[in-house]
């Protein structure tokens, strides 16, 4: 791992501790909406501003982009960080899990998945953990008392899948996707959907299975954003031996041409991703 990527992971871990500390008092809505139209919570804005400061303080970080801001914040340096500062923040109201996601690119944003050098997410669950992917190796850390200590090295997606979860309203799913979901259920996979992708993806790494936010009737690109959510999560699951797709191709082969571009997102066991692509073939 390069020193810069390690410094980025440290900055995210340090920020996570502070974000976690203020979640309880920042549950109210802020003034604005983010660039894809979601209402922002005070916690979204706080996490975004802290990450911007911490990451741009690292000399080799040349820019910071996030789901919560229109434009890229520029500095000088050869690494470019994309972030979803508080993923699943609507879970704050109901006191359920949430996360922070980052992707580290070696090209200015928007960029292709191939430019991704490392990715990580923090999960604010009963404990705060961070999962990183770099050099095709996935590691889980416990974030506690300002320390980042290894919980599990070389994480791989379990071979025998157990859980699945898909976003959006079932009546809005395309017919071929709905048919595929019925097949998944018949294979005795259990439904797990939390409203925070980071929590759901962490279950995929733990139990094996498939998570997705599909294309919808009125929104063919789905809900999730390629740079801030799709690429980083795909990189982590792929480094753990799983795979990703937008329905037809790996998310890591997709190039974002717009900063806030959306895409259908599916990640999980490679066999399930293959089955899904076959089921959607001909769309």
- Shortest Å distance, C-beta 38 to Mg ion: 9
Segment contacting ligand AHM (CB under 6 A): 87-95, 154-162, 182-190, 256-264?
87-95
- 28's tokens: 């109210």
- 118's tokens: 């490392």
Binding of ligand AHM at residue 52 (CB under 6 A)? no
CB 12 within 8 A of CB 44: no
Binding of ligand AHM at residue 89 (CB under 6 A)? yes
**CA-CA distance, 11 to 58, in Å (whole number)?**
9
**CA-CA distance, 199 to 202, in Å (whole number)?**
5
Binding of Mg ion at residue 87 (CB under 5 A)? yes
244 pairs with which residues across the strands? 267
- 112's tokens: 């292709």
Identity of the residue, 224 or 273, whose beta carbon is nearer to Mg ion in the bound complex? 224
Other beta carbons within 10 angstroms of residue 161's beta carbon come to: 22
Binding of ligand AHM at residue 124 (CB under 6 A)? no
- Shortest Å distance, C-beta 198 to ligand AHM: 7
Segment contacting ligand AHM (CB under 6 A): 21-29, 190-198, 234-242, 266-274?
190-198
Strands (E) located in 125-238: 128-134, 137-144, 147-152, 163-166, 190-191, 209-213
Binding of ligand AHM at residue 222 (CB under 6 A)? no
Which one among 38, 49, 106, 275 touches ligand AHM, defined by CB under 6 A? Answer: 38
Binding of ligand AHM at residue 197 (CB under 6 A)? yes
Identity of the residue, 62 or 199, whose beta carbon is nearer to ligand AHM in the bound complex? 199
191 pairs with which residues across the strands? 164
**CA-CA distance, 194 to 185, in Å (whole number)?**
17
User: Which stretches of the chain bind ligand AHM, using CB under 6 A?
Assistant: 38, 67, 84, 87-90, 167, 195-197, 213, 223
């Amino acid at each position: 791992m390069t020193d810069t990527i390690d410094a980025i992971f440290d900055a995210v871990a340090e920020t996570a501790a502070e974000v976690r500390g203020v979640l309880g008092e920042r549950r109210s809505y802020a003034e604005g909406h983010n660039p894809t139209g979601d209402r922002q919570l005070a916690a979204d804005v706080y996490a975004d501003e802290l990450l911007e400061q911490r990451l741009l303080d690292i000399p080799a970080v040349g820019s910071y982009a996030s789901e919560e801001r229109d434009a890229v914040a520029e500095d000088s340096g050869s690494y470019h960080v994309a972030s979803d500062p508080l993923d699943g923040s609507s879970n704050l109201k109901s006191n359920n899990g949430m996360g922070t996601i980052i992707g580290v690119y070696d090209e200015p944003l928007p960029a292709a998945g191939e430019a991704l050098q490392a990715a990580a997410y923090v999960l604010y669950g009963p404990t705060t953990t961070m999962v990183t992917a770099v050099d095709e190796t996935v590691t889980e850390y416990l974030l506690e008392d300002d320390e980042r200590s290894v919980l599990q090295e070389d994480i791989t997606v379990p071979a025998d899948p157990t859980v699945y979860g898909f976003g959006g309203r079932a009546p809005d799913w395309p017919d071929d996707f709905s048919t595929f979901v019925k097949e998944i259920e018949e294979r005795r996979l259990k439904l797990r959907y939390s409203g925070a992708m980071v929590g759901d993806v962490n279950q995929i790494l733990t139990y094996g299975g498939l998570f997705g936010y599909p294309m919808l009737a009125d929104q063919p690109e789905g809900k999730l954003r390629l740079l801030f959510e799709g690429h980083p999560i795909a990189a982590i699951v792929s480094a753990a031996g799983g795979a990703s797709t937008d329905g037809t191709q790996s998310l890591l082969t997709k190039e974002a041409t717009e900063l806030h571009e959306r895409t259908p997102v599916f990640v999980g066991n490679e066999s399930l991703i293959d089955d899904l692509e076959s089921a959607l073939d001909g769309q």
